[in-house]
Amino acid sequence: MSREIKFRAWDPKTEAQIDDKYLAMRLATGALVYASDAAEFGWYDDTDYVLEQFTGLHDKNGVEIYEGDIVIERGRDGRGIPRTVVYEDGMYWLRGPNHTGRVHSIALGGSLADERQARSEVIGNIHENPDLLA
């Protein structure tokens, strides 16, 4: 199974998401290299941006899920807890409080990916909507 490798970047200076270009990290220099459909090519200084990778998954509405997204996974009762998408130990996780308020992680992919996607919805990201986690 293959998945599309895509990135987006958060620019903390302008408080804007850069996702209209194809981003890739050039590891030798630490620069973020980009190209666009308009044959534009260049790079950004990696220290100025937060790079976030596409998980290869989509939420129930078809929205791409990236690192840094805030996802709510609703139960049968329609309620859910907002969690942050993180990449750790070679996997993507939904990290946030459980029903007791303790922070824990839930694997985002694997055998439960289809079931989890059907109940999940991207409601924002940690940069533009940190209040959703409060």
Q: What is the pLDDT of residues 9-32, one digit of tens each?
A: 888 888 888 766 666 655 556 666
Is the CB of residue 25 less than 8 Å from the CB of residue 33? yes
Check pLDDT > 60 for residue 105. Answer: yes
pLDDT value at residue 32: 65
- Among 11-20, 87-96, 121-130, the minimum mean pLDDT is found in 11-20
CATH code of domain 54-133: 2.30.30.290
Q: Count Cβ atoms within 10 A of the Cβ of residue 108 and give its class: 0-12 exposed, 13-18 middle, 19 or more buried.
A: buried
pLDDT value at residue 121: 94
Is the CB of residue 85 less than 8 Å from the CB of residue 55? yes
Cα 60 to Cα 39, 41, 63, 72, 98, distances in angstroms: 33, 33, 7, 11, 21
Element (H, E) at 7: strand 7-11
Pick from 11, 101, 4, 16: nearest CA to 49: 11
pLDDT value at residue 18: 76
pLDDT value at residue 68: 95
Name the pLDDT band for 7 (thresholds 50, 70, 90). Answer: confident
According to CATH, where is 2.30.30.290 located in the chain? 54-133
For 44-73, how does the pLDDT look when each residue is reduced to its tens digit (9 = 90+)? 666 677 888 898 889 999 999 999 999 998
d(CA 130, CA 20): 22
Question: Could you give the strand order of the β-sheet that contains 103-107, starting from the edge strand earlier in sequence?
Answer: 103-107, 91-97, 80-88, 69-74, 120-125
d(CA 5, CA 107): 19
pTM (predicted TM-score): 0.78
